[in-house]
Structure 1
Amino acid sequence: MFTGIVEELGTVAAVEDQGDAIRLTVRASTVLSDAGLGDSISVNGCCLTVVSHDGVQWTADVMQETLDKTSLQGVKPGDRVNLERAVTAEKRLGGHIVQGHVDGVGHVVRRSPSEHWEVVEISMPPELGRYLVDKGSITVDGVSLTVVEAHDTTFTVSLIPETLARTTLGSRQPGDRVNLEVDIIAKHVEKLVRAYTQDAGATAGTGTTKEQS
């Protein structure tokens, strides 16, 4: 589990094509300070497993499923990526609960700079729209953000200078692909409510009451 608070910007050092997967090597420092084999590190919001590291760079295997469903498809040496280690029990939950499981890929639609922040509009797959609400949480490329306005197929976020400087969102341009993960709590609530309404509908359809059963 992650919090969506990016710890550092890493740099893709190598991408080895393995046919139905890639071996991704990333240069980093902060996230390697206590990393061990098998640990999880979020790369642009994708939870990946450390398979080797030398204190300067680390490597992960990225399966075809991940490539098909995320913006890691097409990643190349020199690309900057957002990195975050898995959260520990002692760590402050500075963002929100993030799993590192990408729900869909969106695109930057437009950027609107102002004096102290920048509003960014991002498109999303229509099926994700029901999980977003104004002032709710969304993860974009592994960054925990607050939704300003939620629409059916787009949403906006306001990026402060710290976010612009310390994450890839400072350089994303219109048309660029970004990984999206909606709030897991919203998905759980939806499932529970759906089950409750289905059960209620089935009970109503029988025409029985508690006293009659």
Structure 2
Amino acid sequence: MAASSTFSFVVTALLLVAILIISPFQLGKADEEAPYIDVGSNGVSGSTSSSSSSSSSSSDNDPAQMVAKAMLCFNNRGIYRSCDEDFRLNESGRLGVPLEQVDAYCGGSCLTETNMVLDCLEGIMKNFRFYNTATIKDIKDTVSAGCSDGPDRGNFDVSEHLEASESTVLKGASWGLCAIGYLIAGRALLRW
């Protein structure tokens, strides 16, 4: 009887650990029914992951039309008026702000115009992804850090910012899993 209860406990513990390992990677998937659009290096590739059975004939829901509208945000003369073309956010998720131009970028029209491009993209599709896999929020966070007065001022490298945030998430998840593993192992040893 004791072996059966220990086995049941171990199976339950393993299931709990498996759920905890998988669940952090499923966070932030609230837009599952929205089309997923990825901006590629030679243009745009996209697919829809909509599980909805109703389809609309409106071009507003057509992924190709949505991508075309999103691409217009980068070249909209109403948005980018005075920001130097080298400093502009592009489809690949790159901001080319040299260190000696940080004050001009952050204190001038470029910051405002970059935020307008991001707002334009977000207004068309909230789950927009740049070629470097960055989301709109990732770009906003990078711009905010690059224009801050902290140690990241002048660092507009989005990929570096992405790596740092992914590393932090993985470290937190691994510590949590270790703690749960120790608790389960300790409890199993006490019962044995």
**TM-score above 0.5, yes or no:** no
TM (normalized to structure 2)? 0.27
Bigger Rg, which one:
2
Q: Which has the higher helix share?
A: 2
Q: Give the TM-score taking structure 1 as reference length.
A: 0.26
Structure having the larger proportion of residues in strand: 1
